[in-house]
């Protein structure tokens, strides 16, 4: 019995937790030492103090926002900045030093010219350091540019009428300046459109100070879709020539559009497949209501709905004889029609050597512009 107890005590002593863990601890210590050695030799580069994204809030075109970013060298050796690469010509940048000593800092100044920027924006500057790793830091400015005058719609103005009898629109806008020095000059139309009779009048308001009332009258002369652009010069700030822009689209009746509007064909020994994307002016287009001309022998037209319900994807299959017959016609065209819509016409042209290329399975999209599939729209 005594001998048995001695054996148990000997076994317990051999498997003490300290002895069992010691080899593992030894491995762990060696690994940590190796990691510390690597970290000591590595050069992590400059560290950014604070955030790399500055939110500038709401601005106008008259503002010229400037942000200063501080990069600190926390290593034991001098670090060099090799370049400041802007992602937009609107950015001006500078550094107070390109050589940063240990524990020293570099101040990067980023200035933004807002000319031509509208609405929300994000502009960036890359700071690249010298050395094999060429570490980079991204600096950004974000904000929203508001117009110099408020009161015009942010998007294009779309005016619709079912027919010419109702195609006359009068729209009034109150324009308030974001700076009291601003003034507006007489409006002028940048486009002369034979499909529209267009007038614009600008009246100064007493309240709010510096505000104007703009009245725009448009009358359609033909049953077509037309676009006009109205410009209002802004004065009052020396050295600047800014403009307010109002884009107006008028739509009389309904129009069917097709893309592409040219079809290049060449003689072939195999059937060809061509695709077209049609757009209507209604919420949901019915493929069964689409018609087309001509209807040649060997021609198969298959319209189908797409995710955007106002459109249709049309597959046009032609036999070699149908292609030959069509190309023999002078000024050949393919016209699509939809009820209560102006028709859409595709010009049919003979393909030259470098025009539309036919792939291995005989599929050919005119002008190489393949409309999106229903699943991807």
**57-76 pLDDT, tens per residue?**
999 989 999 999 999 998 88
pLDDT of residue 370: 43
Counting residues of the chain whose pLDDT is more than 90, the rounded percentage is: 60
Residue 238 has a CB neighbour count (10 Å cut-off) of: 6
Q: What b-and-e string marks burial along 287-301, b requiring 16 or more CB atoms within 10 Å of the CB?
A: eeebebeeebeebeb
For the chain, domains (ranges, CATH) are 46-145 (2.60.40.10), 149-252 (2.60.40.60), 255-368 (2.60.40.10)
Q: pLDDT grade, residue 187 (50/70/90)?
A: very high
The mean-pLDDT minimum among 10-14, 44-48, 266-270 falls in 10-14
pLDDT of residue 6: 44
Of 81, 153, 93, nearest in space to 119 by CA = 153
Tokens representing 243? 């403009």
pLDDT of residue 110: 97
pLDDT of residue 14: 43
Average pLDDT on 324-335 reads 93
pLDDT of residue 208: 78
Average pLDDT on 162-180 reads 92
Cis peptide before 108 (omega within 30 of 0): no
Q: What b-and-e string marks burial along 121-159, b requiring 16 or more CB atoms within 10 Å of the CB?
A: bebbbebebeeeeeeebebbbebebebbbebbeeeebeb
Average pLDDT, the chain: 83
Tokens representing 339? 């009820």
Given strand 53-59, what is the order of strands in its sheet?
A: 53-59, 136-145, 119-129, 79-86, 99-100
Whole-angstrom Cα distance, residue 359 to residue 324?
19
| 65 within 8 A of 121, measured Cβ to Cβ | no
The mean-pLDDT minimum among 45-54, 126-135, 165-174 falls in 126-135
pLDDT of residue 170: 97
| 268 within 8 A of 362, measured Cβ to Cβ | yes
Q: pLDDT grade, residue 44 (50/70/90)?
A: low
3-state secondary structure of 323: helix
Average pLDDT on 213-221 reads 95
Tokens representing 363? 């599929």
What does the pLDDT look like over 112-154, one tens digit per residue?
999 889 889 999 999 998 877 678 899 999 999 999 999 999 8
> Is pTM, for the whole model, over 0.85?
no
User: Any idea which residue has 């010691």 for tokens?
Assistant: 22
The mean-pLDDT minimum among 15-29, 120-134, 281-295 falls in 15-29
**Residue 285 burial (10 A CB sphere; 0-12, 13-18, 19+):** buried
Q: pLDDT grade, residue 354 (50/70/90)?
A: low
Q: pLDDT grade, residue 251 (50/70/90)?
A: confident
pLDDT of residue 38: 32
Whole-angstrom Cα distance, residue 50 to residue 214?
47
What percent of the chain is helix, strand and coil (3-state, nearest 5)? 15, 45, 40
The mean-pLDDT minimum among 34-38, 77-81, 357-361 falls in 34-38
């Amino acid at each position: 019995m005594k001998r048995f107890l001695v054996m148990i005590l000997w076994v317990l002593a051999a498997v003490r937790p300290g002895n069992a863990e010691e080899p593992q601890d030894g491995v762990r210590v060696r690994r940590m030492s190796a990691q510390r050695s690597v970290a000591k030799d590595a050069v992590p580069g400059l560290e950014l103090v604070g955030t790399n994204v500055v939110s500038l809030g709401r601005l106008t075109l008259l503002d010229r926002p400037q942000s200063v970013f501080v990069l600190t060298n926390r290593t034991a050796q001098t670090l060099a900045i090799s370049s400041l690469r802007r992602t937009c010509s609107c950015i001006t940048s500078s550094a107070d030093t390109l050589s940063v000593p240990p524990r020293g800092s570099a101040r990067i100044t980023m200035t933004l010219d807002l000319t031509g920027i509208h609405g929300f924006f994000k502009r960036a500057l890359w700071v690249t350091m010298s050395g094999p790793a060429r570490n980079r830091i991204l600096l950004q400015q974000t904000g929203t540019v508001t117009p110099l005058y408020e009161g015009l719609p942010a998007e294009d103005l779309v005016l619709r009428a079912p027919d010419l009898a109702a195609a006359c629109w009068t729209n009034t806008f109150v324009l308030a300046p974001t700076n009291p020095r601003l003034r507006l000059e007489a409006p002028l139309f940048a486009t002369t459109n034979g499909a529209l009779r267009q007038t614009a009048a600008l009246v100064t308001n007493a309240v709010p100070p510096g505000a104007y009332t703009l009245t725009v009258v448009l009358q359609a002369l033909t049953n077509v879709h037309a676009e006009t652009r109205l410009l209002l010069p802004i004065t009052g700030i020396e050295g600047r020539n800014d403009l307010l822009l109002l884009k107006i689209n008028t739509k009389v009746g309904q129009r069917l559009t097709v893309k592409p509007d040219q079809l290049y064909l060449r003689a072939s020994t195999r059937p060809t497949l061509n695709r077209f994307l049609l757009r209507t002016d209604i919420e949901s287009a019915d493929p069964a209501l689409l018609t087309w001309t001509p209807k040649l022998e060997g021609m198969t037209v298959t319209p189908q709905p797409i995710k955007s319900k106002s459109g249709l994807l049309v597959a046009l299959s032609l036999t070699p004889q149908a292609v030959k017959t069509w190309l023999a016609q002078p000024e050949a065209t393919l016209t699509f029609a939809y009820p209560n819509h102006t028709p859409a016409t595709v010009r049919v042209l003979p393909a030259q050597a470098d025009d539309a290329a036919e792939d291995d399975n005989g599929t050919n999209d005119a002008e190489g512009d393949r409309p999106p599939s229903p699943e991807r729209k």
